[in-house]
Amino acid sequence: MSEIRDIREMVSLAARRDLVRIPPDLDVPLTRRVRRIIDAAAFRRLARISQLGLVSLVYPAAIHTRFEHSLGVYRLGLLFLQQLAHDTRFRDAVRGADAEMFIAASLLHDLGHWPFCHPLEDMHLASVPRHEKFASGFILEGEVADALSEDWGIDPREVVQLLSDQRADLPGRILASMLSGPIDIDKMDYLYRDSLHAGVPYGRNFDQSRLIASLCLNESGNGLALTDKGKTAAELMVFARYVMFSEVYWHHGVRAATAMFQRAFYLLVDRVDHEKLFRLTEAPMIAELLRAAQGEPGARELLDGLFGPTRRLHKRVIQCSPHEHQELYRRLARRPYPWLAACAARFAQLAGDKLASAVAAHEVLFDAPPIESEVQFNVDIRQGPEHSYRPLAEVSPVVRALANEQFDDLVKRVRIFAHPRIAAQLRDQPDLANILSQAIDETN
């Protein structure tokens, strides 16, 4: 236990010194070697990249940054280590050097994000890298690499391996589950922080302290589990995640803005230097896309609706889920983005014929669940003095319903959006579903 407890950042946390304050009233310990990392240009850029991007078009106060979130995740990483250092199996597996690696990784976990990263990644275009891979360029060379080598005694390549979940050894698997898993430091921070800044209660309605206090290792000793004291807190976290996706991340207005941004980028994909674009912060990236859109009127109109002087979002025309327009949902969900764009363009042509008025391809947008589903909430609960382990979904009907069976299907609906000038007319079409079905048939 002393090996982990004696790490500089752990000492600073316990002594409450060298602190910086972040919302909501949280003190984050900044040792000299942590300050060197967060003062590096690659890290400082996160202060000019918003955590939620387009969400602020619907929730105006959701303008917090990935810099703030990264400090929050780093703080939670220290609290996880503080708790797990009491677990004998954890101490036997994770030595001080491993714990220091985890602390550095927790601080750097978002370094590869660029503005509006997740909407672009969800398109799965060959020219768009995964942000985890993109982070390597910032970690393996330059100021961050020098800080890791000189101040932490860490090989930057090992940080990249841990962040990419490429370590197969026992300490690596345990630490990876703390960085990215059902109960991880990233999810625990962003649910609470996004909820706070959006001004909604949903992501804060779980007991974070109780969850951390109940952390232990699973039966195999290669990942996180919870004692039965954390069961209710875990259930509430599952529900918090469900409601945050339903009411914030996949709010229809947010998804309209997302669909507009994705289509604009798709129209400009061959007009921009991706390596240069993804290294920019938010305002310069928007400016670069607007510059590239000078010769592409559709992209320019979409971007102006998002970032111009007047907010002008496309409007919902129809939405589909497993419980409404089930067959249309089945045929549109998790289709490749180029196919969705082609289908939307064909639908625009058919809609134009119906309305006896030309409808431009960019005036109709299809938004559908991406190819990849959300990670399911699979975590074991350690029960009783005999320390038997059972999956949370087995002991909780809440988790069984929300995390395993319904999450993606109920939260991530298929939605058709249209330009405000034609949205009402399309909604009033009695055979709208048939037109949509025809567009699908003709695109297949």
**199-231 pLDDT, tens digit each:** 999 999 999 999 999 999 999 999 999 999 999
- pLDDT per residue rounded down to tens, the chain (444 residues): 568 999 999 999 999 989 999 999 999 999 999 999 999 999 999 999 999 999 999 999 999 999 999 999 999 999 999 999 999 999 999 999 999 999 999 999 999 999 999 999 999 998 887 777 778 889 999 999 999 999 999 999 999 999 988 888 999 999 999 999 889 999 999 999 999 999 999 999 999 999 999 999 999 999 999 999 999 999 999 999 999 999 999 999 999 999 999 999 999 999 999 889 999 999 999 999 999 999 899 999 999 999 999 999 999 999 999 889 999 999 999 999 999 999 999 999 999 999 999 999 999 999 999 887 776 678 999 998 888 999 998 998 878 877 655 677 778 999 999 999 999 999 999 999 999 999 999 998
DSSP 8-class letter at 46? G
Question: Residue 332 carries which side chain, given as an amino acid letter?
Answer: L
Q: Pull the structure tokens for residue 96.
A: 């001080």
The tens digit of pLDDT for each residue in 247-277 reads: 999 999 999 999 999 999 999 999 999 889 9
Whole-angstrom distance, CA of residue 385 vs CA of residue 26? 35
Domain boundaries, the chain: 2-250+375-393, 252-372+410-443
Fold of 2-250+375-393: Hypothetical protein af1432 (1.10.3210)
E strands, 237-349, are 315-320
Buried b / exposed e across 201-230, counting CB within 10 Å, b at 16+?
A: ebbbbbebebbbebbbbbeebbbbbbeeeb
Whole-angstrom distance, CA of residue 314 vs CA of residue 298? 13
Look at the pTM and tell me if it is higher than 0.85.
yes
